[in-house]
Amino acid sequence: MGSPMRSKLELVPKLHEESAATHARPASAPERVLFLVPAESDDKHSGAMPRALGRIRSAGYRLLKQSLDLVLGSILLCCSLPVIIAAAIAIRVESRGNPFFIQPRLGLNGKMFGIFKLRSMYIDARERFPEVGDFGKDFIKHGGLDFHVHRDRDPRITRVGSFIRKTSIDELPNFLNVVLGSMSLVGPRPETSDLAVLYGDCLDKYLSVKPGVTCKSKVSGRDRLTKEETIRIDLAYIENRSTVTDLKILWETFWCVLWCRNVVGENPVIAHKPHTDELNESAQLCIANADKQA
């Protein structure tokens, strides 16, 4: 009777022979089909991986944005309260009526909400200055986007109103909208429903994100931009938005507000489009990117 070790060693050649014989047999049709399935599955997995990573990045961005809106928005609202109260008192002293102004605007996915602002016009501006007309109807009647939204001189605006517009104090109550969740710190400015027709086929994309207190167009030219340039810059932001971009816009907004940059529009309601070289480098880059995407 041989040793167990020897008997195991004698089995090795037999196992090799059986394995060679098995691999030498031609594969049947079903075996070939089963062999091809994993390769097809690998292609599906390789395509699904970038999509999964994209969804994770998108979810992470939304989470960070919501956290930033809630935390920083609450801090900015608390810090702004003394300025808001002082401005409200000054508005009330100069003209009668509620110093605060709530206007319906288009929000995320077209849902209407009330935007909070400090009143910069006379409470009876329409009756007092009927010759000024309705800006929204004038814009739509113009049939294009080559115009500026703001005027140098508007008789409907009070002296206090002119100051709070120039310093952006009138928009400080927007931080309450941010805390309530109807707005974000960074995003395209919310539009009124009567001017939504100006956005054409771009309206759905424009409404696919929360409107913001500040946006790329505000730090790229603001009142000096035509409506067309504003829309193109904001659409470029929507296509390329990120946490880093939002932080940069917030930082640039601080300096723009501090130095009151680009807060004066053209005098006529319908103005000629400014030359591209008059815009800053950031605005030119955004417009160029929007043209490429179009």
Residue listed under structure tokens 């006529």: 268
**DSSP secondary structure code for residue 121 in this structure:** B
Tokens coding 203: 């309206």
**DSSP secondary structure code for residue 26 in this structure:** P
Residue 22 has pLDDT above 50, yes or no: no
| C-alpha–C-alpha distance, residues 62 and 278, integer Å | 35
**Least trusted range by pLDDT, from 75-84, 105-114, 146-155, 237-246:** 146-155
**Least trusted range by pLDDT, from 78-87, 90-99, 125-134, 261-270:** 261-270
Say what the pTM is.
Answer: 0.71
Q: Hey, how many other C-beta atoms are within 10 angstroms of the C-beta on 198? A: 20
CB of 212 closer than 8 Å to CB of 108: no
pLDDT at res. 128? 77
| C-alpha–C-alpha distance, residues 12 and 254, integer Å | 79
Average pLDDT on 62-76 reads 95
Question: Using 50, 70 and 90 to split pLDDT, how confident is the model at 156?
Answer: confident
Look at 280 and 247; give whichever has higher pLDDT: 247
Residue 36 has pLDDT above 50, yes or no: no
